[in-house]
Amino acid sequence: MKSILLITARFDPAADLLLAELRRRNVPCVRWNTDLFPLDSVLTYRASNGDFSAEFVSDGRRVDLETIASIWWQWDQPAGFPAELAGEERRFAETESQLALAALTTIGRFLWINNPICERAARSKPAQLFVAGEVGLDIPRTVITNDPDEVRQFVAAVQTQTIYKGLSQARDLEPGKALFTGLLTPERIADLDLIRVTPGIFQERVQKSYEIRVTVVGTRIFSAKIDSQAHAKAALDWRPFLQDLQYEVIDLPAEIEARILAFMKTFGLIYGAFDFIVTPEGRYVFLEVNPSGQYMWVECATGLEITAALADALSEPYRP
């Protein structure tokens, strides 16, 4: 029986949980903390006429990629470099290391959750909005631009409050430094010229009855209602206040589930964490998807068996 490979980082509680579940099932599995690459692990490709092989060595274990059936991919930002390596030499080492890891997506016939190529495409916020519209999901009126005048025209046209979000979210930010949703206040409108060098996402503020986190694994959908409007501080963005909110398992309308699965299929994703608003009128409004979004908090709060679903998908590969 082939093994499951977890490509992750040293401090990843979800990886700890998933590894424990796989071992409980007696499923062969191995973990590779690629944040320590290249100093603390070795990756080797060998090629000749008619032959190609690849292996990595980590924690004293040598793993032939031929023995791997599926990969849970959470990390591809190597950071295991000597402290004294700096400047152009460090940038060169980082680029070379990233390219070496990225090549894993082009060799072998692994099942990826998710394939990094698909995940990078799905992380694009403009692409998410385009695909959401294509599959019939409701989305907020949005402008993504580095043109201050375009934003001013948008604010005047929507005649509601406008929110601002970044196009990116680093995966290794220090606690307290995440970029959350903010209101475009008059003071911020006065500083709009700053976006000439940092394009941003500007959206109409959609009225909320409550919000939903939808976690998808293959064709299995796990939905949790978030009572974000019960607390004023969480009304705009609930994410900084996870511990203060109430969660409830709910079922989505069949047509919304079908559109979510169509969205996943378009991007070639097997795993995704979606955020929706449900308006007072009952509209389901798509906000975004995080193709590697955290799920432990919602599993702990609701009992939804997401870890077990991931273990199922890795053990009995689902192919979109």
pLDDT per residue rounded down to tens, the chain (320 residues) = 799 999 999 999 999 999 999 999 999 999 999 999 999 999 999 999 999 999 999 999 999 999 999 999 998 789 999 999 999 999 999 999 999 999 999 998 899 999 999 999 999 999 999 999 999 999 999 999 999 999 999 999 998 899 998 887 554 434 333 345 788 888 888 788 888 898 999 999 999 999 999 999 999 999 999 998 888 787 788 877 877 788 999 999 999 999 999 999 999 999 999 999 999 999 999 999 999 999 999 999 999 999 999 999 999 754 44
Calpha distance 206→40 (Å, rounded): 47
Same domain, 274 and 134: yes
Q: What CATH number should be reported for the domain holding residue 13?
A: 3.40.50
Q: How many domains does the chain have?
A: 3
Instruction: Label residue 159 left, alpha or beta by phi (over 0 means left) and psi (-120 to 50 means alpha).
Output: left
**CATH number of the domain bearing residue 165:** 3.30.1490.20
Name 73's bridge partners.
Answer: 7
For residues 285 and 206, give the distance between their C-alpha atoms in angstroms, rounded to a whole number: 8
Which of 294, 32, 57, 80 is closest to 169 using CA atoms?
294
Domain limits for position 174: 141-205
167 plus 253 within the same structural domain = no
- Give Cα 226 to chain centroid, integer Å: 19
Nearest to 156 by CA among 204, 95, 92, 196: 204
Q: What is the pLDDT of residues 227-259, one digit of tens each?
A: 988 887 877 888 778 777 889 999 999 999 999
Q: What digits encode the pLDDT tens for the residues 152-199?
A: 999 999 988 999 988 875 544 343 333 457 888 888 887 888 888 989
β-pair type (210-217, 220-226): antiparallel
| Single residue among 113, 128, 149 that ends a domain in this structure | 113
109 and 149, same domain (yes or no):
no
Please check whether residues 167 and 211 belong to one and the same domain. no
8 and 148 co-located in one domain = no
